[in-house]
Structure 1
Amino acid sequence: MRTPPVLVYDGDCAFCTSSVQFAERRVRPRCEIVPWQFADLDGLGVTRRRAEHEVLWVTPRGRVYGGARAVAKALLSAGGAWAVLGAVLSLPVVRWAAHGAYRIIAVNRHRMPGGTPACAIPANRRPGRVPD
Protein backbone atom coordinates (compact mmCIF):
# COMPACT_ATOMS: atom_id res chain seq x y z
CA MET A 1 0.00 0.00 0.00
CA ARG A 2 1.20 3.49 -0.96
CA THR A 3 1.57 6.38 1.45
CA PRO A 4 0.76 9.29 0.98
CA PRO A 5 -1.98 10.03 -1.59
CA VAL A 6 -0.84 11.17 -5.04
CA LEU A 7 -2.07 14.21 -6.97
CA VAL A 8 -1.52 13.69 -10.71
CA TYR A 9 -1.70 16.65 -13.10
CA ASP A 10 -0.74 17.63 -16.67
CA GLY A 11 2.87 18.79 -16.49
CA ASP A 12 2.78 20.03 -20.09
CA CYS A 13 0.02 22.53 -19.33
CA ALA A 14 1.22 25.90 -18.04
CA PHE A 15 -2.09 26.65 -16.30
CA CYS A 16 -2.09 23.26 -14.56
CA THR A 17 1.54 23.68 -13.52
CA SER A 18 0.88 27.20 -12.20
CA SER A 19 -2.12 25.90 -10.26
CA VAL A 20 -0.07 23.11 -8.71
CA GLN A 21 2.73 25.51 -7.81
CA PHE A 22 0.17 27.74 -6.08
CA ALA A 23 -1.17 24.72 -4.20
CA GLU A 24 2.32 23.69 -3.13
CA ARG A 25 3.12 27.21 -1.83
CA ARG A 26 -0.20 28.23 -0.29
CA VAL A 27 -2.47 25.22 0.21
CA ARG A 28 0.17 22.60 1.06
CA PRO A 29 -1.86 19.44 0.49
CA ARG A 30 -0.51 16.36 2.24
CA CYS A 31 0.31 14.29 -0.81
CA GLU A 32 2.88 13.52 -3.43
CA ILE A 33 2.39 15.74 -6.49
CA VAL A 34 3.52 14.40 -9.85
CA PRO A 35 2.89 15.25 -13.52
CA TRP A 36 1.22 12.36 -15.29
CA GLN A 37 4.06 12.38 -17.82
CA PHE A 38 6.40 11.14 -15.06
CA ALA A 39 3.94 9.11 -13.00
CA ASP A 40 3.73 5.33 -12.86
CA LEU A 41 0.18 5.37 -14.19
CA ASP A 42 -0.11 1.57 -14.20
CA GLY A 43 1.06 1.47 -10.58
CA LEU A 44 -1.48 4.14 -9.68
CA GLY A 45 -4.25 2.25 -11.46
CA VAL A 46 -5.13 5.02 -13.92
CA THR A 47 -5.07 5.22 -17.68
CA ARG A 48 -3.12 7.77 -19.66
CA ARG A 49 -6.38 8.88 -21.25
CA ARG A 50 -7.90 9.72 -17.87
CA ALA A 51 -4.71 11.46 -16.68
CA GLU A 52 -4.75 13.62 -19.82
CA HIS A 53 -8.39 14.50 -19.18
CA GLU A 54 -8.35 15.71 -15.56
CA VAL A 55 -6.36 16.16 -12.37
CA LEU A 56 -6.43 12.99 -10.29
CA TRP A 57 -6.24 12.21 -6.58
CA VAL A 58 -5.17 8.63 -5.88
CA THR A 59 -5.57 7.38 -2.31
CA PRO A 60 -3.07 5.01 -0.69
CA ARG A 61 -5.60 2.19 -1.22
CA GLY A 62 -5.87 3.00 -4.93
CA ARG A 63 -9.21 4.82 -5.06
CA VAL A 64 -9.12 7.46 -7.80
CA TYR A 65 -10.98 10.78 -7.75
CA GLY A 66 -10.89 13.10 -10.74
CA GLY A 67 -11.53 16.74 -11.56
CA ALA A 68 -13.29 18.82 -8.93
CA ARG A 69 -13.44 15.84 -6.55
CA ALA A 70 -9.63 15.54 -6.75
CA VAL A 71 -9.33 19.25 -5.96
CA ALA A 72 -11.67 18.81 -2.98
CA LYS A 73 -9.60 15.87 -1.69
CA ALA A 74 -6.39 17.92 -1.97
CA LEU A 75 -8.00 20.78 -0.06
CA LEU A 76 -9.29 18.41 2.63
CA SER A 77 -5.79 16.99 3.09
CA ALA A 78 -4.34 20.45 3.72
CA GLY A 79 -6.37 21.05 6.86
CA GLY A 80 -7.50 24.37 8.31
CA ALA A 81 -9.59 26.73 6.20
CA TRP A 82 -8.60 24.81 3.06
CA ALA A 83 -10.24 21.69 4.49
CA VAL A 84 -13.46 23.64 5.10
CA LEU A 85 -13.46 24.65 1.43
CA GLY A 86 -12.76 21.03 0.46
CA ALA A 87 -15.68 19.86 2.60
CA VAL A 88 -17.99 22.41 0.99
CA LEU A 89 -16.87 21.26 -2.48
CA SER A 90 -17.72 17.70 -1.41
CA LEU A 91 -21.37 18.46 -0.60
CA PRO A 92 -23.65 16.84 -3.21
CA VAL A 93 -25.19 20.01 -4.71
CA VAL A 94 -21.93 21.94 -4.59
CA ARG A 95 -20.00 18.94 -5.96
CA TRP A 96 -22.28 18.88 -9.02
CA ALA A 97 -21.74 22.62 -9.63
CA ALA A 98 -17.99 22.28 -9.00
CA HIS A 99 -17.82 19.49 -11.57
CA GLY A 100 -19.43 21.76 -14.17
CA ALA A 101 -17.09 24.63 -13.30
CA TYR A 102 -14.09 22.28 -13.45
CA ARG A 103 -15.07 21.06 -16.93
CA ILE A 104 -15.46 24.64 -18.20
CA ILE A 105 -12.04 25.58 -16.82
CA ALA A 106 -10.43 22.40 -18.17
CA VAL A 107 -11.77 22.99 -21.68
CA ASN A 108 -10.63 26.62 -21.57
CA ARG A 109 -7.37 26.22 -19.65
CA HIS A 110 -5.39 27.72 -22.53
CA ARG A 111 -7.35 30.95 -21.93
CA MET A 112 -6.81 30.98 -18.15
CA PRO A 113 -4.11 33.03 -16.41
CA GLY A 114 -0.81 31.22 -16.86
CA GLY A 115 -2.22 29.14 -19.71
CA THR A 116 -0.59 28.91 -23.10
CA PRO A 117 -1.87 27.82 -26.53
CA ALA A 118 -0.17 24.44 -25.93
CA CYS A 119 -2.69 23.78 -23.16
CA ALA A 120 -5.43 23.57 -25.83
CA ILE A 121 -3.64 20.89 -27.84
CA PRO A 122 -4.47 17.29 -26.93
CA ALA A 123 -1.49 15.73 -25.15
CA ASN A 124 -0.89 13.19 -27.91
CA ARG A 125 -0.52 15.98 -30.51
CA ARG A 126 1.78 18.36 -28.60
CA PRO A 127 5.17 19.15 -30.15
CA GLY A 128 7.95 16.78 -29.09
CA ARG A 129 5.47 14.08 -28.05
CA VAL A 130 6.45 10.53 -28.80
CA PRO A 131 3.46 8.59 -30.18
CA ASP A 132 2.23 5.57 -28.23
Structure 2
Amino acid sequence: MARLVKRPVLVYDGDCGFCTSSVRFLERHVHAGATVAAFQFADLDALGVTAERAEYEVLWIDRAGRVSGGAEAIGRLLTAAGGPWKALGVVMRIAPVSWAAHGVYRLVANNRHRMPGGTAACMLPAAQRPGARGRAGR
Protein backbone atom coordinates (compact mmCIF):
# COMPACT_ATOMS: atom_id res chain seq x y z
CA MET A 1 0.00 0.00 0.00
CA ALA A 2 1.40 3.41 -0.97
CA ARG A 3 2.04 5.76 1.93
CA LEU A 4 2.10 9.50 1.42
CA VAL A 5 5.34 11.28 2.30
CA LYS A 6 5.87 15.03 2.75
CA ARG A 7 8.97 15.07 0.56
CA PRO A 8 10.35 12.46 -1.82
CA VAL A 9 12.82 10.13 -0.12
CA LEU A 10 16.02 8.63 -1.53
CA VAL A 11 17.01 5.48 0.36
CA TYR A 12 20.52 4.09 -0.09
CA ASP A 13 22.98 1.66 1.52
CA GLY A 14 24.78 3.68 4.17
CA ASP A 15 27.32 0.92 4.83
CA CYS A 16 28.63 1.08 1.26
CA GLY A 17 31.38 3.65 0.75
CA PHE A 18 30.69 3.89 -2.99
CA CYS A 19 26.95 4.36 -2.39
CA THR A 20 27.58 7.01 0.24
CA SER A 21 30.01 8.88 -2.03
CA SER A 22 27.49 8.74 -4.88
CA VAL A 23 24.71 10.11 -2.67
CA ARG A 24 26.97 12.92 -1.42
CA PHE A 25 27.68 13.85 -5.05
CA LEU A 26 23.93 13.94 -5.75
CA GLU A 27 23.32 16.10 -2.67
CA ARG A 28 25.97 18.60 -3.81
CA HIS A 29 25.08 18.77 -7.50
CA VAL A 30 21.53 17.50 -8.05
CA HIS A 31 19.02 19.33 -5.88
CA ALA A 32 15.86 17.23 -5.99
CA GLY A 33 14.33 18.49 -2.74
CA ALA A 34 14.34 14.98 -1.29
CA THR A 35 15.07 13.57 2.12
CA VAL A 36 18.12 11.31 1.87
CA ALA A 37 18.33 8.34 4.25
CA ALA A 38 20.53 5.31 4.67
CA PHE A 39 18.24 2.29 4.79
CA GLN A 40 19.93 1.14 7.98
CA PHE A 41 18.47 4.15 9.82
CA ALA A 42 15.26 4.75 7.86
CA ASP A 43 11.79 3.71 8.98
CA LEU A 44 11.34 1.29 6.11
CA ASP A 45 7.90 0.15 7.30
CA ALA A 46 6.63 3.73 7.21
CA LEU A 47 8.07 4.11 3.69
CA GLY A 48 6.42 0.88 2.54
CA VAL A 49 9.65 -0.93 1.57
CA THR A 50 11.50 -3.98 2.83
CA ALA A 51 15.09 -4.14 4.04
CA GLU A 52 15.76 -6.76 1.35
CA ARG A 53 14.75 -4.38 -1.41
CA ALA A 54 16.61 -1.44 0.13
CA GLU A 55 19.73 -3.58 0.40
CA TYR A 56 19.40 -4.63 -3.27
CA GLU A 57 18.97 -1.20 -4.87
CA VAL A 58 18.70 2.53 -4.27
CA LEU A 59 15.06 3.53 -3.81
CA TRP A 60 13.07 6.66 -4.65
CA ILE A 61 9.76 7.13 -2.85
CA ASP A 62 7.71 9.96 -4.33
CA ARG A 63 5.17 12.09 -2.44
CA ALA A 64 2.37 9.69 -3.35
CA GLY A 65 4.37 6.84 -1.79
CA ARG A 66 5.21 5.16 -5.12
CA VAL A 67 8.50 3.28 -4.89
CA SER A 68 11.02 3.07 -7.74
CA GLY A 69 14.30 1.21 -7.56
CA GLY A 70 17.67 1.11 -9.26
CA ALA A 71 18.11 3.07 -12.49
CA GLU A 72 14.41 4.02 -12.43
CA ALA A 73 14.95 5.61 -9.01
CA ILE A 74 17.91 7.62 -10.27
CA GLY A 75 15.89 8.71 -13.30
CA ARG A 76 13.04 9.89 -11.08
CA LEU A 77 15.45 11.75 -8.79
CA LEU A 78 16.99 13.54 -11.79
CA THR A 79 13.52 14.37 -13.15
CA ALA A 80 12.50 15.83 -9.79
CA ALA A 81 15.64 18.00 -9.74
CA GLY A 82 14.44 19.87 -12.82
CA GLY A 83 16.61 21.99 -15.09
CA PRO A 84 19.04 20.07 -17.30
CA TRP A 85 18.81 17.08 -14.94
CA LYS A 86 15.12 16.65 -15.81
CA ALA A 87 15.82 15.88 -19.46
CA LEU A 88 18.40 13.25 -18.52
CA GLY A 89 16.03 11.71 -15.97
CA VAL A 90 13.17 11.49 -18.46
CA VAL A 91 15.34 10.04 -21.23
CA MET A 92 16.85 7.39 -19.00
CA ARG A 93 13.36 6.13 -18.11
CA ILE A 94 12.30 5.60 -21.74
CA ALA A 95 13.12 2.41 -23.68
CA PRO A 96 15.62 1.57 -25.08
CA VAL A 97 17.72 3.94 -22.93
CA SER A 98 16.02 2.56 -19.80
CA TRP A 99 17.21 -0.95 -20.69
CA ALA A 100 20.79 0.25 -20.96
CA ALA A 101 20.45 2.29 -17.74
CA HIS A 102 19.16 -0.78 -15.92
CA GLY A 103 22.06 -2.89 -17.21
CA VAL A 104 24.64 -0.29 -16.20
CA TYR A 105 23.01 0.12 -12.79
CA ARG A 106 23.08 -3.64 -12.11
CA LEU A 107 26.69 -3.89 -13.30
CA VAL A 108 27.76 -1.10 -10.95
CA ALA A 109 25.60 -2.34 -8.04
CA ASN A 110 26.92 -5.88 -8.36
CA ASN A 111 30.51 -4.60 -8.38
CA ARG A 112 30.25 -1.69 -5.96
CA HIS A 113 32.90 -3.22 -3.71
CA ARG A 114 35.32 -2.71 -6.64
CA MET A 115 34.28 0.89 -7.30
CA PRO A 116 36.13 3.93 -5.91
CA GLY A 117 35.24 4.19 -2.23
CA GLY A 118 33.87 0.66 -2.18
CA THR A 119 34.93 -1.77 0.51
CA ALA A 120 34.75 -5.53 1.02
CA ALA A 121 31.74 -4.89 3.29
CA CYS A 122 29.78 -3.83 0.21
CA MET A 123 29.84 -7.47 -0.97
CA LEU A 124 28.18 -8.83 2.18
CA PRO A 125 24.47 -8.88 2.95
CA ALA A 126 23.66 -6.14 5.47
CA ALA A 127 23.16 -8.57 8.37
CA GLN A 128 26.66 -10.01 7.88
CA ARG A 129 28.57 -6.71 7.66
CA PRO A 130 30.97 -5.65 10.39
CA GLY A 131 29.03 -3.80 13.08
CA ALA A 132 25.64 -5.17 11.99
CA ARG A 133 23.25 -5.41 14.91
CA GLY A 134 20.15 -7.21 13.76
CA ARG A 135 19.36 -4.73 11.00
CA ALA A 136 18.12 -7.33 8.55
CA GLY A 137 14.72 -7.33 10.22
CA ARG A 138 14.22 -3.57 9.86
- TM-score, scaled relative to structure 2: 0.92
Contact 1:44 1:58 in 2 (8 A): yes
Give 2:41's aligned residue: 38
Amino acid at match of 2:27: E
Which of 62, 65, 79 is the aligned partner of 1:62? Answer: 65
Look up the equivalent residue of 1:86 and give its one-letter code: G
1:33-70 Cα offsets, whole Å, 9 max, x none, are: 10001111000000010000000001122110000000
Kindly report the root-mean-square deviation, in angstroms, between the aligned alpha carbons of the 2 structures: 1.0
Q: 2:104 aligns with which of 96, 101, 114?
A: 101
- AA partner of residue 19 (structure 1): S
**How many residue pairs end up in the alignment?**
132
The SS at the match of 1:51 is: helix
Q: What is aligned with 2:12?
A: 9
C-alpha deviation, 1:116, in angstroms: 1.4
Structure with the largest fraction of helix: 1
CA distance in 1, matches of 2:64, 2:44: 15
Partner letter of residue 90 of structure 2?
A
SS in 1 for 2:15: coil
Give the whole-Å Cα distance in 1 for the aligned partners of 2:32 and 2:20. 15
SS at match of 1:61: coil
CA distance in 2 between counterparts of 1:91 and 1:110 reads 29
Give the Cα–Cα distance (whole angstroms) in 2 for the partners of residues 59 and 87 of structure 1.
15
- Give the letter aligned to residue 98 of structure 2: R
- The Cα offsets for residues 102-121 of structure 1, whole Å up to 9 and x where unpaired, read as 01100000111121121111
- Structure 1: segments with no counterpart, 5+ residues: none
Task: Give the structure-1-normalised TM-score.
Answer: 0.96
1:13-24 alignment, distance < 5 Å: 13-24=16-27
Q: 8 Å contact 1:8–1:33 — kept in the other structure?
A: yes
Residue of structure 1 aligned with 2:52, choices 49, 54, 67:
49
